[in-house]
Amino acid sequence: MTRLAEAFARARSEHRAAFVPYLTAGDPSPDATVGLARALCRAGADVLELGVPFSDPIADGPVLQRSAARALSAGTTLRTVFSIARRIRQDTSLALVLFSYLNPLERLGIETAAREARAAGFDGALITDLPAEEAGPIQPPLRKAGLDTIFLVSPTSPASRMRAAARLSSGFLYVVSRPGTTGARVSLDAELPKTVARARKAAGRLPIAVGFGISSPAAAREAALLADGVVVGSAIVRAAEEAEERREEAVERLASSLARACRKR
């Protein structure tokens, strides 16, 4: 089993959804990112999505846009992200997902980026702006390098797109909880149960994780009762941003409450 598959299987055996937080690599520095990853591991995270900062993050709300801007201003590159991942791999048991837009990977070359990501300790890759219909030349080099590939589906995805995304995915299928960009929301979309049910029909035995807009233990609990994994990004990044030098303490406290909320009983 891959490290991602093991993470979801372990969570399932413990009657909980896997907890999948997100960090932007290099925000505000490589050392800070590694420290936050350690805090998330202590808090009970199973998988870490480590984001590659990008200058045109069209899927991201204001919190993650600011995070990417800080990381880029600090000089973070794709190879900086790989260096950060190596340190996280040494220091934690987290499964690691490379979370990126396509452009940074293409600039390095997909095959080179895939090999270097795997060598750095990444277990999977999620390319935010790569739809299943355009993945023909991109997905095979990632899988050849030993990376699980994770694709997104949303409430507006027809059944055919959900099937295509599930067919190309390994590790898990990512269900976007609502249309629009990333960012914390007060409540989850009322149509989410129907969206997850459609995704499960397409995914079969592949785990389902829900993300976008989950910011509180109550929302995490609601998502955990529907899915196999719960993804939290903006709320984690915002907690680190607001706490400044006490970021690790703030993130560990929030993440612990979210991890507890992922229990199904």
Q: pLDDT tier at 67 (50, 70, 90 boundaries)?
A: very high
pLDDT attached to residue 195: 95
d(CA 261, CA 71): 30
At 189 the pLDDT is 75
Q: Is 242 a catalytic site residue?
A: no
Residue 176 near residue 162, CB atoms below 8 Å: no
Q: How many domains does the chain have?
A: 1
Q: What is the pLDDT of residue 183?
A: 47
pLDDT for 58? 84
Query: How confident is the model over 91-137, as pLDDT tens digits?
Result: 999 999 999 999 999 999 999 999 999 999 999 999 999 999 999 99
154-185, pLDDT tens digit by residue?
Answer: 999 999 999 999 999 999 999 998 655 454 45
Q: Which of the following is catalytic: 27, 46, 49, 252?
A: 49
Q: Which residues pair with 263 in a beta bridge?
A: 16
The residue written with tokens 């794709």 in the block is: 78
Range of the domain at 137: 3-261
Phi, psi of 94, deg, nearest 5: -65, 140
* Residues in contact with 244: Cβ distance below 8 Å, sequence separation at least 6, in sequence order: none
What are the C-alpha distances in Å from 123 to residues 57, 93, 265?
Answer: 23, 12, 29
Residue 183 — left, alpha, or beta (φ > 0 → left; ψ -120 to 50 → alpha)?
Answer: left
Q: What is d(CA 75, CA 222) in angstroms, rounded to the nearest whole number?
A: 38
Q: Grade residue 187 by pLDDT with cuts at 50, 70 and 90.
A: low
pLDDT tens by residue, 204-258: 999 999 998 899 999 999 999 999 999 999 999 999 999 999 999 999 999 999 9
Q: Which residue has the tokens 């109550």?
A: 218
Work out the average pLDDT over 141-160: 96
Q: Is 160 exposed, middle or buried (0-12, 13-18, 19+ CB in 10 A)?
A: exposed
Q: What percent of the chain has pLDDT over 90?
A: 90
Least confident span in 31-35, 60-64, 225-229, 255-259: 60-64
Q: In the prediction, which pLDDT does 77 show? A: 97
Active-site residue, 116 included: no
| CATH number of the domain encompassing residue 88 | 3.20.20.70
Whether residue 178 contacts residue 185, with contact meaning beta carbons closer than 8 Å, is answered with: yes
Res. 24 pLDDT band, cuts 50 70 90: very high
What lies within 8 Å, CB to CB, of 205 at 6+ separation is none
Residue 186 confidence (pLDDT): 53
Q: Give Cα separations from 25 to 10, 48, 57, 70, 134 (angstroms).
A: 26, 11, 14, 10, 26
Hey, what amino acid is at 199? A
**pLDDT of 72 strictly over 70:** yes
The reported pLDDT for the residue numbered 188 is 77
Question: Can you say whether residue 192 is alpha, beta or left, with left for phi > 0 and alpha for psi between -120 and 50 degrees?
Answer: alpha
Rounded Cα gap, residues 259 and 58, in angstroms: 28
Is the separation of the CB atoms in 233 and 21 below 8 Å? yes
Structure confidence at residue 265 (pLDDT): 81
- Of 27, 46, 60, 228, the catalytic one is 60
Query: Strand pairing partners for 110?
Result: none
